[in-house]
Structures are given as C-alpha cells and as structure tokens.
Amino acid sequence: MKLFHLLLNIIWLVFCGIWMAIGYLIAALICFILIITIPFGIASLRIAGFVIWPFGRTTVEKPGAGAGSFIGNVIWVIFAGWWLALAHLVTSIPLFLSIIGIPFGWANLKLIPISLMPLGREVVATDQGFGSR
C-alpha cells in the first residue's frame, strides 16, 4: 500500500501538488509578514505539506479546538481560504478531462474543506486510501 501511495503522490506532485503548495506558501508568507496573522501562516504551512503529499495521510479535528479555532477559520475564509478553495476547484477541472486525472481531480476537490477551515485540524497518517474517507 505504501508503494501505491508513493506512486500516487509522485503523479500528484507533478500535475497539481507543487502548484497548490506554492499557493499555500504564498498565503503563509503574507500571513507571516502581517505578524498578527502568524497562526494562520503556520496553518497554511501545515496544509502546504499536506497538499504536496496527500495520499496516505488525512486530517482530523484536534481535541480541544474550540471557539478560537472557529473564529480564526471565519477570518481565514474571508481573507485567504476562499482563494485557495477556488484554486483547488480550478485545478481540478483539467484533471477531470483525462481518465488518469479523474482520481486526482476528485482528491483535489476533497482538499477544499481543509483549505476553507484549517485551524483546529491536524494531519495524520492513515491506512485508508485518500479517496475512501
């Protein structure tokens, strides 16, 4: 299974992962420059690592993430989340145009919720396939 995840991640990296990770890195850089938004920058870096290598990993809610995460996610959606979600949507369209790209387009769409609400979540390894959640 790990070899399969490696193969999927390499194909993902070439066709979509690197471009989406760059988007998250730009969002993180902007958040770090603004200083008060450093927690958003950290979350953006965490997602960039997930987006560049998603197969064999998933996100789960952090225990104890409460109102602060919710408020932070609302602010994130307004300023950065919707741009990143739109980028996932736009990059999934060309992936859906080829038979080989369909699973990667679907995986790209499954990344939209984490791009909209990254706070209060963490990336963990999984034994399940990415598309089977």
Q: What is the pLDDT of residues 102-113, one digit of tens each?
A: 989 999 998 999
Q: What is the pLDDT of residues 2-55, one digit of tens each?
A: 888 899 999 999 988 999 999 999 999 999 999 888 989 999 999 999 999 998
Q: Match 């988007």 to its residue by tokens.
A: 23
- Secondary structure, 3-state, 58-99: EEEECCCCCHHHHHHHHHHHHHHHHHHHHHHHHHHHHHHCCC
The C-alpha atoms of residue 73 and residue 96 are separated, in whole angstroms, by 29
Beta-carbon contacts of residue 38 (< 8 Å; ≥ 6 apart): 31, 32
Say what the pLDDT of residue 62 is: 81
- Look at residue 1 and tell me whether its pLDDT is greater than 80: no
Q: What is the pLDDT of residues 23-34, one digit of tens each?
A: 999 999 999 999
Mean pLDDT of the chain: 88
Q: Match 């008060």 to its residue by tokens.
A: 36
Count of beta carbons in the 10 Å neighbourhood of residue 61 = 10
Q: What is the mean pLDDT of residues 125-130?
A: 64
Strand pairing partners for 59?
Answer: 123
Say what the pLDDT of residue 111 is: 92
- Look at residue 130 and tell me whether its pLDDT is greater than 60: no
Say what the pLDDT of residue 128 is: 54
